[in-house]
Structure 1
Amino acid sequence: MFDLSGKSAIVTGSTRGIGRAIAEALVAQGARVVISSEDAEDTARAAAELGQPGIACDVADDAALARLVDFALAELGGIDVLVCNAGITGQAGPFADIDMDDYARVMAINLRSQVVLTGLALPHIAARGGGAAVLIASLSGLRGNGRINAYALAKAGVAQLARNLAVEWGPRNVRVNAVSPGFIATELSAPLLADEAFMARRMAQTPLRRPGNPQEVAGAAVFLASSAGAFVTGHNLVVDGGTLITDGS
């Protein structure tokens, strides 16, 4: 049910962290995957390591997104699966102190890029008879937070984008879902992992009492991309060790 042999996929931000784990998991299930990130050197390295085609893509650039889709069509012959993973956290702090230039960049990369890329790719997925898109949202888009401002707002928008697109594209057999990771151990979260006070507080709020790992998010993405998730669309799958549902007791 999880087999993706013969399927073609795009994963943005797939050279490290969660995106890299998703790309590896799709490849392990038999898919061909276009690797991409804004860094050309990282993209070439990761593509070579995975034995997959790769192209540098700044997702804030609409023309670059169009080139990404054209590249996938040329290299793979079509698109069956799209994973919109690329994102940035931006500057932390309350909305009262927000830098609007930083806000604009966070929204452009985390939300606008997914609107543009799904608009470019979903018609091709539909033309193949259907498939799936997985949009990476975040636990921060489901809870209030005093410091994660534009990022949380953008990620809440991503979950709503998945719902809207699921309604729009469902009649053409295209499923669209979101995945909302909680606290995941990656290079980007290394400073928090080293912060004993933060970790004690956060793990007390997490029933499984540990951070997640990128492969656990990748497993959710494979489920949603494969026939195992064939009757799931418009859903926001939370992968957070239970943080969302606990009161910390």
Structure 2
Amino acid sequence: MGVQTFDDALLEFLGRRHDAFEAISAVEICHKAGIDNISIDLMYGLPGQTLLMQKYDLEAAVSLDVQHISSYCLSYEKGTPIEKLRRQGRVAVADDDTCAQMYTQMYCHLEDAGFEHYEISNFAIPRYRSHHNSSYWSGTKYLGLGAGAHSYNGRSRQWNIQNLDLYMDGVEKGKTSYKIEHLTERDRYNEMLMLRLRTSEGIDLSALPAAERDRIISDSHRLVDSRGLVLENGRLKIPQEKMFVSNNIISALFI
């Protein structure tokens, strides 16, 4: 459920169609309906957001008795309205230090509330991790059915056309249209690093082919020495306090 924040002014600025009351009411409706597996999304690093404002968001989220929380730092994607405002100088962009402090506050607060920090942006009460997302991070193969659905077989990914009428017409004629991206060995290796090192489990070196295992061990030595990475019980991980800069650490291992 896309809550984003419980601050109405920030929600309005982000162009969201709901306010905090509606977000809280939606969660309460789910509880009353007997749904006991509720996930909400939050954002931090929002324009004008302070550490105190973020703390309020975290407290409000925990008070709703949800089982899963995803929390993402705001990014300014090219072509979006907020990115246009940033280019025009009309947005007070949060600096890296503030975002890093918010990240630390986030995982400390949620862990104190009983959530497991199992992926850079994801937190769950024990036994309520997202199986759907976890399958992506672990490289599990999957088949997507329907218009716009994505599939992955370990060596390539494909996605069906999004237009429902064209998709249905293709199915009836036995000519379903899709696009495919073939992944090179380099693509697969770098993707494995990028996805698995974002998780609390990291990479199980014993489960890798010998060539990949030797390469990672060789390339990661200097990062282990500088504590950018840790090696524990045969697993290579990024320490929690370094997760906010994980992209820099992971990209240093790319081939």
With normalisation by structure 2, the TM-score equals 0.32
Higher relative contact order (CA 8 A, sep 6+): 1
The structure richer in helix per residue is 1
The structure richer in strand per residue is 2
- If you compute each CA radius of gyration, which structure gives the higher value, 1 or 2? 2
With normalisation by structure 1, the TM-score equals 0.33
